[in-house]
Structure 1
């Protein structure tokens, strides 16, 4: 069995799709002759926790930990609310307090590439003897936080290990970079670090075709697309809700605000008394205040169920019992390569996916190819309304279901097979 060192900031009990990606790779890589060894922070400051994911850690895996100094812990002394909003990714350009603006400027210009940069140097010193002790020839870094890639870069330079850099999200082209109030010097430094990582790594893995095309313009190193996926454990048929439930599972952060959908739902409620009696909008996860206000302004308050953040196990159950699953991304050129991790679990449930996002969105292509639902732009009001009505009629006839064919290639085990080939 070949050993590989996986360097990641996020690991159970942290919550979120970034954790699940590498938790599942670690689970299945041994099936393909790879023994994973983990390196994680000893005292991380995770914005979201999901204790249920701890049960998914494979027995007997070797895990090394080293302390990290994080500014978010100090920032909590100033404002716990603002700190949690920023570290969770809830960055809105509207109605920002002076303290929040200041914290974003400090975050963007003093902590490059991110607030976990202080883990880099201690990790390099700590990992040298570990790599020798474990007889490791290959390492994998996964970001964000992209500072983790700087650990891989230095180990590559000093020890000569083979290095694969995994990008769960883009770096300088990610949407929230615009909100960090970067100076021109800070922007150049981000670009310089991104260029260095992409050109020093032996190989690169990304989660979307769009990100691959972006990186091809920066490096000639081999780039592979290995998406997120679903686990076989996640598939199963549960009793559906009696209501015509449209559910969004996950964070609805600022910008992910499909006002066209709220308008369509408001019209359907006003025009169709049967729809009004049956409809429910279910939101499980963090919902930003501006998105929630838009929903309420559209007259949907009494039809909206706010569940809050839930464990991954609970999220799967909510997906399986929903009539329709809502997938939303910010309407921006920078987000067309963003593929939410829940997309693949949505497909596995065989519930129709109602996707609203940017033009030429990679997720829309996957949904169309697998016949898993329907995708719309932010201006597709008439077609959106027609499809929801069509699905509502099928719901009334107890025949609402997605075809979802050809999704097997997105299973976590098959994706792990592809990763093992690269290692």
Structure 2
């Protein structure tokens, strides 16, 4: 019998979207890494999207413990007709929306999912207790946030004697929307205190990029070696979905696949496309926006004068096929204090698609380094419209000549498969018996 690991996560199928992928793929490959996963999650959460097709990735026989998860913003959703708040931010328009945002920032700390914590603690203690009585103890508890309230569950379960790994898919007080929250000074102080307690209390801390690892070590006053980078990645099994997909030949498609918020609006890209069209260049270029796209972003793309194809949210399988059919893939990283460490899960899938990536974001950051390392594309400064225009023209002209520019070679991407990164997490878990708590 394999030693077991309790994976505690709010986002798990039938939830969809990027927040699901890391924990789902970890669960998928933990057996290959020598551990049996047990999942503790919600019965019906406030998910920003749903994708039942992802349930196919859950290995047969995996135990899934689901609990109630009261959501403090459910009333807000009923009153406004909007979805329950999916992240840390809500629409600021209207008195009710502003009140909900203030409550999120100052009452529901560390986040709007904190109502799940007591239910998850109780279910987790029961699961660990049963295992102890059967003399089948767990090797570790792994909590994956955001929502970072999930780490409060890990801290409580650690008292049972089971080692605890706190995994950060995004920073806590450095998350992209943090500075937009109308938090009072006491609320910010409490949030920083909670973050520090988690970082210093966990037996191990993992995150997705070198810059964020350094940031978390600083926030917890930890030696840099105490935070391990376990990258996001691509599931090699997903690539089969696009094995029969060829690059479109009816148009040169510049595609963004995934959610494109107003904060990620790549203005310089739209300026570059407009300039190309005004010069009569890249005339066969089409912009394709696949997934949730903010209205302001869509309007900015349409203002370029290029054809714009807008496709609503698609399943993960369809997203992989969309990437493979594109001539050039667009990635936009919004500006925020910790943006240098942002490597979206989408970027790894872009790299694995074999198509090149045009990225806009922090020059010198971790995403730029990954693109350089793999040969998968280039990242430009957010105001470099001239450089972006030249890059689009280069790719368009190569495509028009019948020789589309290739993206990253597969061997450069293989170190970043989900399986390889789960093996890296397994090494962290195995090391817990050899080192004291942080």
TM-score, normalising length from structure 2? 0.91
CA distance in 1, matches of 2:381, 2:91: 21
SS state at 1:140 partner: strand
Measured after TM superposition, the shift of residue 388 of structure 1 is 1.0
How far the C-alpha of 1:234 sits from its partner, in A, is: 2.6
1:181-234 Cα offsets, whole Å, 9 max, x none, are: 111111111100000000000000000111111112123261110111011123
Correspondence for 2:277: 269
SS, match of residue 421 in structure 2: helix
Corresponding residue of 1:73: 74
- Consecutive unaligned residues of structure 1, counting only runs of 5 or more, are none
For 1:190 and 1:297, locate their aligned partners in 2 and report how far apart those are by CA, in whole Å.
Answer: 41
- 1:333 alignment partner, SS class: coil
1:311-366 superposed Cα distances (whole Å, 9 cap, x missing partner): 10110010111111100011333222111111011001110100001233211110
Q: TM-score, length-normalised on structure 1?
A: 0.94
Distance, in Å, in 2 between the alignment partners of 1:8 and 1:368 is: 32
The unaligned stretches of length 5 or more in structure 2 are 132-136, 430-438
State which of 267, 287, 290 in structure 2 corresponds to 1:281: 287
Match of 2:41 in 1: 40
What is the CA–CA distance in structure 2 between the aligned matches of 1:333 and 1:369, rounded to whole Å?
24
SS of residue paired to 2:334:
coil
Alignment pair present for 1:163 and 2:164:
yes
**2:93 is equivalent to residue 87 of structure 1:** no
- Residues 1:249 and 2:257 are matched in the alignment: yes
1:343 and 2:347 aligned:
yes
Structure 1 partner of 2:338: 334
Residues in 2 aligned to 1:58 and 1:119: alpha-carbon distance in whole angstroms: 25
Q: Distance in 1 between matches of 2:258 and 2:88?
A: 12
Q: State the Cα deviation string for residues 65-115 of structure 1 (Å, max 9, x = none).
A: 11111123221112133x45x42567577xx33322221111111100011
Cα gap change, 1:334 to 1:233, in 2 (>3 Å): same
Name the CA shift for 1:89/1:268 in 2 (closer, same or farther; >3 Å).
farther
Residue pairs, 1:351-370, within 5 angstroms: 351-370=355-374
Secondary structure, counterpart of 2:105 in structure 1: helix
- Which of 419, 422, 427 in structure 2 is aligned with 1:413? 419
- Cα separation, 2, equivalents of 1:239 and 1:272: 27
Of 222, 245, 255, 1:238 maps to 245
1:2-41 equivalences under 5 Å are 2-41=3-42
Q: CA 1:19 to 1:44, structure 2 compared with 1: closer, same or farther past 3 Å?
A: same
Cα root mean square deviation, aligned: 1.7
* Alignment match, 2:436: none
Q: 1:299 aligns with which of 295, 300, 305?
A: 305
Q: Tell me, in whole angstroms, the C-alpha distance in 1 between the residues paired with 2:394 and 2:378.
A: 12
Instruction: Tell me the residue number matched to 1:190.
Output: 191
1:219-234 equivalent positions in 2, closer than 5 A: 219-220=221-222, 222-234=226-238
Measure, in 1, the Cα distance between the counterparts of 2:117 and 2:102.
22
Task: Identify the residue that residue 315 of structure 1 maps to in structure 2.
Answer: 319
- The SS at the match of 2:73 is helix
Partner of 1:384: 388
SS at match of 1:77: helix
How many pairs are equivalent? 414
Contact 1:39 1:63 in 2 (8 A): yes
C-alpha distance in 2 between matches for 1:10 and 1:231: 18
For residues 213 and 88 of structure 1, the distance between their equivalents in structure 2, rounded to whole angstroms, comes to 24
Q: CA–CA distance in 1 between the matches of 2:279 and 2:3? A: 63
Q: 2:277–2:305: 8 Å Cα contact kept in structure 1?
A: no
Query: Over residues 140-199 of structure 1, what are the superposed CA-to-partner deviations in whole Å (9 max), with x where a residue is unaligned?
Result: 00000000000001111x312100000000000112112221111111111000000000
1:72 and 1:87 in contact (8 A); partners too: no
Which residue in 1 is equivalent to 2:145? Answer: 143
Aligned partner (choices 382, 396, 402) of residue 398 of structure 1: 402
Q: Secondary structure at the match of 1:159?
A: coil
Indicate the SS of the match to 1:106: helix
Local SS of the residue matching 1:107:
helix
Q: Which residue of 2 aligns with 1:259?
A: 267
- Among 99, 103, 115, the alignment partner of 2:100 is 103
Instruction: Please tell me whether the aligned partners of residues 92 and 179 of structure 1 are also in contact (alpha carbons under 8 angstroms).
Output: no
- Describe the SS at the equivalent of 1:379: coil
Aligned to 1:178: 179
